[in-house]
Structure 1
Amino acid sequence: MAAAPVLRGRQHERDRLDQALRHVRSGESAVLVLRGEAGVGKTTLLHYVESQAVRCRVARITGVESEIDLPFAALHQLCGPLLASADALPMPQQHALNVTFGHAAGAAPDKLVLGLAVLSLLADAASEQPLVCLIDDAQWLDVASRQVLGFVARRLLGESVLLLFAVREPNPDTLLAGLPALTVGGLEDADARALVIATTPGHFDDRILDRIVVETRGNPLALLELSRSSRAELLGGFALPSVGTDALQDRYEQRIRALPEPTQRLLLLAAADPTGDAALLWRAAQDLGLGPQTAAPAEKVQLVEIGRSVRFRHPLVRSAAYAAGGIEDRRAVHRALADALDAGNDRQRRAWHLAAAAAGPDDRLATELADVAQDAQSRGGIAAAAALLRRSAELTTDHRLGVERTLSAAEAYLDAGDFASALGLLARAEALSADDLQGARIDVIRGLTDRAARSGREAPATLLRAARRLQPLDSRFARLTFLDAWGAALVAGRLAYPGSDLATVSAAAREAPPAPGEITAADHLLDGLAALVTDGTATAHPLLREAVAGFLDNEVPPAQWLHCGVLVANAALSLWDYDRWEAANARHVELARAGGALAPLANALNVRRVIALWRGDVEHARELGMEESTVKQATGMRRASYGDLFLLAYQGHAAEALPLLTEAAAESTARGEGLGLYFTDRATALLHLGLGHYAEAAAAAVRAASGDLGPFTAQALPDLVEAAVRSGATMIAETALERLAAYTAGLDLEWATGLRARSQALVSDGEQAEQSYAEAVDRLGRTRLTFELARTRLLYGEWLRRERRRTDARRQLKQAFEEFAGMGADGFAERARHELLATGEKVRKRTAGTVDELTPQEEHIARMAKDGRTNTEIGAELYISARTVEWHLRKIFAKLGISSRKELRDAPIHLRSRTH
């Protein structure tokens, strides 16, 4: 089933579509034609219907312009999968279908008979379960197919069939005329702003955002295309319109060139200022000798509207106005805008306009741009800083300084997630005669870009080579690069190139002495992580404690946090210190969000989702997944989402999960991401453990626990102990326990001691087993590791039942079941339910009906109401009215079998994530 798309607003459209689905589920038919301009969201609404069509059969086709002259091509798409049941139709209708689709010879069938045949075919298919037919780009359907489908749509009554068409407007076709229609317009302003902010991470200038919303009229596709076209400049508030060759833009440009010359210049001035600030426009216009009367010809032909703000009719009008100006005219308007801006309050945009006005290199201006770039970066505008630094480098005459600024710009683009721009600047810097230190820095940035974009096997080798090259030149920089190489080797895992694996990088790092002077938290971090591989935990753990404490005590600047945040979290994980693992990751996420550093943010969110799942917070992990997906789409990052893999394991649906896990493993292999294989194996082991498939779980856990992945290898050992014991592989379990004891030696934190005690219980009998289980429950009960605690209760309960202590077993198993059910870990919940049944306890089975009872929006509203939010507060967050919230709550209460908010506080609201 399709994943539910994220829709902002669209309450009216969703209500109509939900109503249509209710009709077909109740045994009635429904027909609706969605009409709207290209990009307005019709296809997304079709996806929404598909995601809501639970327990319905869905048939989806799309009109193709190249097939518009091919008779019945679209009808064949729709009916082809249904023809197996055509034998039940009357012979004339069978014959009509067979001739139409080329299965039999004969004269062209009567269109009335063919229409009845298709109607009967759809009705027959809907007799088993409701049928939802989604027809996208219906304007490109061949005429013959449209005629038949129009005929069918007008005669559907009680067949449990939904016909939903999406048609682009304007469209002169009349074959679907007269059918129930829903016009899909642009998003409301609040929803449009929310869409741009959610899909283009970073810090928007509010004036730019307002202008985008107005000029696109809320068209989602236009919003996304415009907001992504020049993200760095856009976020900085100084975007220039693109100069393209779109046919519509060409027409607008011709209209502009027909205007009086002063009016053309005023439009050019307005186009050069992305904020739409009318006061600024008129101050700059005065310097150019342009008065208010010059706007009249453009306003008369509705190209622009100037009131309290400047609003072009369409974004392409702005592009056309800028394209129509000559180079010297553009420089002149940028100079006028710079002079009209306050040098104190608008220093950043003023410098940008001055740069746009520059006719050639200008060292004074280049220095000012570099200074404002630093200010922008300190305020969280990494994307803006990248654009400013790039322009600064272009205006710099000093060769070496120009290369330095180019590399600084490349680093900023890397952090902003614009990898193509980063690599382009590296190529430019490399073409220049950089010195040895700059050459090594180029290698570092290239390796980091490769690691961020692809998580590939090449990055460790590149970064290790750069670190060695840096040792005689800058030992502190070399040590930081060894840290980068270690992180890249960890991600590459067993897929790293020979000579750049984790063991090789760790040995090289241990041989690189710290720089003279104070030993920093980053030094402790490098030495500790390397020692995990070369020396073992006894040497590594004290160093890692120093490192984590140093970073969390704010001994390092934010830039270094962004650089090392994932490794700091890994260091805390190596210590089995959940609280510091979470704290380190929270700090990393906070700094990355605040700085608009998308590449570090994607990695930090990947970790944060796993942390949330380990404490059983599936809903939060799901929300974080939406943010992670948005950031990865914005940057093009292709690293595996480890939270997605664990969500599949939590849900416990093997038929759905195993193909996706296999696909994830293949993609990780193709990228050279060995860590992705590790997480795939761990997720596979957890999935099978929940389902009671112990041999399969053991095989996956053996793979996950093999090799040496620093902080991660030990995490797989408790799973291996459980799977091996349950599958009868006692020696494997005992060896895994010995390894776990060695990894956690000297650690008295509850996480480590709890899992060690649980693993000991699994290989023990009698009093020793009971003592170990009791200790594990006690230890883990003091943590926030809800998932591990529930697993321990389950194992303890299973052991108690086999010891024939049913009352004691029920107590542990019931708590485990409730915890698993509450977090949506369906596989483990079902395993606990079966154990409870074996003790004589009656437990309701968690069926698809109980899990999917609420729609995703109803689940969201129910959770907010459960948290005490008022209808008005919920409505404000979801952009719906309080009355609509009340309407939803009535449905929620009915589905949950309750009658009030008070009862809602105690009602279980189960949430199933969909990750595909």
Structure 2
Amino acid sequence: MVPLRGRSEELGKLLDALRAAGNGRASLAVVSGEPGIGKSALLAAAVEQAERQGFLVASAVAHQTDNISPLASLAPALRSGAEPLIDTDQFLELAGLNTQPLWLAERLADLIGRRLAGVRALIVLDDAQWSDPLTAFVLRVVIDRLPAAQVLWLLATRPSPGGTTDQLVEAVNVPVHSIRLAPLTAEAIQDLAADRLNHAVDPSLAVQLAGVQGIPFLAEQLIAGLYLSDNDLSAGLVEGVRRRTAELSETSRELVRTAAVFGSEFQLEDVAVLMAAPVARLAAPLEEAIKAGLLVDGGSVLRFRHELLRSAALADVPPSAQRALHGAIANQLMAAGRGAAAAAPHVLAVAQPGDVVAVETLREAARDLLATMSTTAAEVIQQAFELTRVGDPLRAEVGVDVVSVLLAAWQYDRAKAFADDLLRDATPDLRATLLLHLAPFRRLDVHDLTVPGAAPELAERLAGHRALAGAEAPSSATDPIAQGLQLVASAEQARAEGRFGEARELYGAARRAPVGLGSLPATQVEVGELYCRAETDDLPAALERVRELMTAGDSWAAPQLAVLRARLEYASGNLREAEDAAQSGLRWMDQLHDQTLAPAADQVLALIALLRGHLSQARKLAGHDPTISALLAMADGDPQAVERLAGTPHDVPERIGLLLEANAWRQLEQLQPSAASRGALAVVAAGNDVEQLAAALEVVRTTHRPLLVAQVAERYGRAALDAGDRTTGVRALEQALDSLAALGATAPAGRIQAVLQAAGVRRRRWAAVPPRAQQGWESLTPMERRVALLVADGHTNRSAADELVVSASTVGTHLRAVFGKLGVNSRVQLTRLVLERFAPPPNA
């Protein structure tokens, strides 16, 4: 490899970061500098050193055209090398998640994390300023998820304040090494030239090299004859390329100029169509351009050797010819079925204000991009809007598109600001339409949800949103979409009053209603229904559905789903899973820049901390939460604090247990009957009656809520001891203790242990909280064990799903968890491990 000149300090920083990565300290290095300054050469040197040290290296280069294809920039790095980061099957699986950016990023983080277990790695992305939006998002998530991996993430970029790399640097929580490349010294430039020439630089060339002003790319082009030393760097490059292309055939020159208009990369077939020449006739002219150092053959595509060379070649194409070629390219791409998205950059290059055809092409491009590249779609539709003339009826229509696409890209603030501009001179129907696009996000002031003069169906939908905001009572409607909104409003009112069965039916009816302008997101409605299902004796099924949605639902709703899962896992006694879900929700809120549900996630974490006896952690999470404050006061010995639990709001997880703690008869009586509420009410009514408490305990045992069962069992056991029935009392208390210990609920387990010890119970070993296994067979949940056994027995995901009466997606979710906990990567490895574990003993 040619020596790297003048960059020993910068290379040293990268090697230090590599050494740290090898010791398990992941970090991000960003090399920035102007075009031609030597970023790629520095990256190549780092790659060479990493490979010598035994690092796994994965690298890719982003291109200007990447922003129309999801993950186009990062995908080559994922699949590069003899041992890629992800295999073919995994890559195909990821392709199915292109429309769900957060699930894709999470899955990719999981796959890369497993691949890098015990492996030192360098992952490189050159020209990161051109990264497609999905790559930029995925990098933020994956780097943040793998802080302890033995990996150095290395990016090269042109300076772009506020751009992709700046956003990445601000978002990640790993050390960042920022390396800004300055021009090389004159000595380094001459050393570089001597390396290329294989001999010393003569004085005349040394004078010319001084004119490149320390830019290594220009020094190399000067040697190659593609740059003439000049006070104007760009003019020197243009003139050098012009002189070199003058030596080419006319056809080769035309090929280079046409290709320069296409972009930094292109297909020979496309250029051939524009030149009206058979591809075969362009083989020799193409070879001329490659030998001249202008183009590189990448196999499926051709590229300019450097973007600066393309710019220099493009400077030789008159502006009028460029416009004509851009128009011809756009028409050709559309005619060839490449889609409006591929044609959009060329349409924008020639479109003039008022160009209706261009506007419609860009609208089509935005629609095509919306499912997989919503951020790019948002930029394209705004450019379409800018081409419409003030006063043109099309302007309002495209403006509504802008708001709709921005919202689909989860850019509410930009959508709201854009809509506010449109609302200034909007007709009543346009005003209502814009508000109904914004209303489902539930951030509008209720006073904005009334538009006099709007069409009846629009007015009814706005009324539905006023009901959802609690500004007026739910009412009837004739418009089907408005009816759906009113059903949700009624469901939320019933839910807030504890009428969960009624609310469940209303949510279900709302989910069956038609959807359209103003409708709430389907996931948002289903979340409400699942919450009510969990409160009406259907907790296991509701939890299973939430887990399924966490991998197959709308990833934009990830925080909402995570918080619901945390609540239901907590209710099911799965404290570790509840903690993981709440932490994931908080992480996703950071990534989506929406902290609306952070208090709800903190509330679950605080409740878990209280159960584990971690009072200081609970205090940090409590904030102004009155329920957590009351529980903390109780833990601090305040006997009056328990009375405050009677005021526990409806949305607190496992409210019934808290009301039971406070003996809140009236509040429990107001709840729509479920096994949990009936059992809790019976406990309060029973007082210290042992027989009634035993009957109440049997009711509660049907709820699949082990924390509540243990709470009632403790009351039953204490009452039995007080009544002199030591055998019954000790048995009930020991069962509660064992259950709480298995769940990791240290605090209540310790309290019960103290009661038993005071009663003279002696055990060989008191262990209120045995540590729960994190890895291995014992760490698997019962469902995960069943899935593992079925798969080891030869079942597919589908047949296992049929056996377990769940979905194949749910089986897949459990199977991935099994792989992670058991440290296996395939069904074959899993089968071998299961057979070894359950093999009969010798001579059996």
Q: Pick the aligned partner of 1:756 from 659, 677, 681.
A: 681
Deviations 1:410-466 (A, max 9, x none): 2332243234542453354346x22234345555666766x6xxxxxxx4xx43112
User: Does the alignment pair 1:638 with 2:595?
Assistant: yes
| 1:712 corresponds to which of 644, 647, 651 | 651
Q: What does residue 438 of structure 1 align with?
A: 430
The separation in 1 between residues aligned to 2:416 and 2:457, in whole angstroms, is 24
Q: Distance in 2 between matches of 1:900 and 1:184?
A: 32
Deviation at 1:516, TM superposition (A): 5.7
Partner of 2:607: 649
| CA distance 1:171–1:303, shift in 2 (3 Å) | closer
* Structure 2 match to 1:470: 451
What pairs up with 1:87-126 in 2 under 5 angstroms? none
Separation in 1, partners of 2:157, 2:330: 20
Q: Give the secondary structure class of the aligned counterpart of 2:594.
A: coil
- Give distance in 1, aligned partners of 2:100 and 2:755: 47
Larger deviation: 631-640 or 794-803?
Answer: 794-803
Alignment pair present for 1:902 and 2:827: no
Please give the residue correspondences for 1:39-118 in structure 2 after superposition, counting only pairs within 5 Å.
none
Which of these residues, 399, 404, 414, is aligned with residue 406 of structure 1?
A: 399
| CA pair 374-528 structure 1, distance change in 2 beyond 3 A | same
Change (3 A) 1:515 1:420: same
Amino acid of the structure 1 residue aligned with 2:762: G
Q: Counterpart in 2 of 1:148? A: none
Distance 1:331 1:370, change over 3 A: same
State whether residues 351 and 358 of structure 2, in contact with CA within 8 Å, keep that contact through their aligned partners in structure 1: no
1:529 alignment partner AA: E
Note if 1:508 corresponds to 2:472.
yes
Aligned 1:842-853 pairs, distance under 5 A: 842-845=764-767, 850-851=771-772
Aligned position for 1:349: 341
The question of 1:306 aligning with 2:263 is answered no
Higher relative contact order (CA 8 A, sep 6+): 1
Is 1:776 the counterpart of 2:726? The answer is no
Deviation by residue 1:699-735 (Cα, 9 ceiling, x = unmatched): 7736643xxxxx527963540431x3xxxxxxxx3xx
Query: Does the Cα contact within 8 Å between 1:272 and 1:322 map onto a contact in 2?
Result: no
Unaligned runs of at least 5 residues, structure 1: 1-33, 51-134, 140-168, 235-240, 452-458, 488-504, 666-676, 706-710, 725-732, 905-916
Contact 1:202 / 1:381 at 8 angstroms: preserved in 2? Answer: no
Pick the aligned partner of 2:124 from 219, 227, 232: 219
Out of 417, 426, 436, the residue aligned to residue 419 of structure 2 is 426
Q: In the alignment, what sits opposite 1:550?
A: 509
Q: CA deviation at 1:636?
A: 1.4
SS at match of 1:218: strand
Alpha-carbon separation, structure 1, partners of 2:130 and 2:753: 50
Conserved? CA contact 2:403–2:419, under 8 Å: yes
CA distance 1:435–1:37, shift in 2 (3 Å): farther
**Counterpart in 1 of 2:788?**
867
Query: Which range moves more in the overlay, 242-251 or 569-578?
Result: 242-251
Query: 1:382, CA displacement in angstroms?
Result: 5.0
What is the 5 A alignment of 1:815-834? 815-831=735-751, 833-834=753-754
Deviation at 1:550, TM superposition (A): 1.5
> Is the CA contact 2:559–2:597 (under 8 Å) kept in the aligned structure 1?
no
Q: Deviations over 1:197-248 (max 9, x none)?
A: 9999529999xx9xxx9xx9833798799354897999xxxxxx99866987
For 2:682 and 2:338, the matched residues in 1 are separated by: 62
Mean CA deviation greater in 561-570 or 578-587: 578-587
Residues 561 and 588, structure 1, Cα contact 8 Å, conserved in 2: no
Aligned to 1:189: 78
Asked if structure 1 preserves the Cα contact closer than 8 Å seen for 2:534 and 2:542, the reply is no
The match for 1:202 is 101
- Tell whether the 8 Å contact from 1:382 to 1:596 is kept in structure 2 after alignment: no
Deviation at 1:647, TM superposition (A): 3.7
Q: How many residues align?
A: 654
- The 5 A counterparts of 1:474-553 are 474=455, 476-478=457-459, 480-481=461-462, 484=465, 505-510=469-474, 514-515=477-478, 520-530=483-493, 542=502, 544-552=503-511
* Alignment equivalent of 2:386, drawn from 362, 382, 394: 394
1:362 and 2:355 matched: yes
One-letter code aligned to 1:364: V
Partner of 1:107: none
For residue 670 of structure 2, give the secondary structure of its aligned residue in structure 1. helix
CA distance in 1, matches of 2:296, 2:777: 42
Q: What TM-score, normalized to structure 1?
A: 0.55
Q: In the superposition, relative to structure 1, how do residues 279 and 473 fare at CA in structure 2: closer, same or farther (>3 Å)?
A: same
Give the gaps of 5 or more residues in structure 2.
1-10, 32-41, 60-76, 113-120, 140-155, 162-179, 184-214, 222-236, 246-252, 795-814
Q: Is the 8 A contact 1:35 1:183 kept in 2?
A: no
Alpha-carbon distance in 1 for matches of 2:689, 2:316: 85
**TM-score w.r.t. structure 2 length?**
0.59
Structure 2 residue 561 is matched with structure 1 residue 604 = yes
Q: Which amino acid aligns with 2:470?
A: S
Q: Does the CA-based 8 Å contact 2:740-2:748 persist in structure 1? A: yes
What's the counterpart of residue 89 of structure 1? none
d(CA) in 1 for partners of 2:393, 2:555 = 27
Deviations 1:161-181 (A, max 9, x none): xxxxxxxx9999xxxx9xx98
Structure 1 position 742 matched with structure 2 position 647: no
Distance 1:323-1:36 versus aligned 2 partners, 3 A rule:
farther
The C-alpha deviation readout for 1:458-515, integer Å capped at 9, x for no partner, is: x4xx431122x2365245445544555666xxxxxxxxxxxxxxxxx535244x6524
Is the 8 Å Cα contact of residues 284 and 339 (structure 1) preserved in structure 2? no
Q: Equivalent residue of 2:596, what SS?
A: coil
Q: What amino acid sits opposite 2:565 in the alignment?
A: R
The whole-number CA distance in structure 2 between the counterparts of 1:430 and 1:754 is 55
Q: Which amino acid aligns with 1:363?
A: V
Letter of the aligned partner of 1:549 in structure 2?
A: G
CA 899–520 in structure 1, closer or farther in 2 if over 3 Å, else same: closer
Q: Which residue identity is paired with 1:840?
A: R
Change (3 A) 1:886 1:686: farther
Question: 1:662: which partner in 2?
Answer: 620
Distance 2:620 2:102 in 1: 38
Aligned to 2:212: none
Deviation at 1:646, TM superposition (A): 1.7
Larger-Rg structure: 2
The 1-side partners of 2:14 and 2:273 are apart by 38
Quick one: which amino acid aligns to residue 548 of structure 1? Y
| Cα drift, residue 864 of structure 1 | 8.1
* Structure 1 pair 883–381 and aligned structure 2 pair: CA distance change class (3 A): closer
1:698 to 619, 642, 655: 642
Equivalent-residue separation in structure 2 for 1:280 and 1:369 (angstroms): 21
SS in 2 for 1:520: helix
1:225–1:359 CA distance, 2 compared to 1 (3 A)? closer
User: What is the Cα-based RMSD across aligned positions, in Å?
Assistant: 6.3
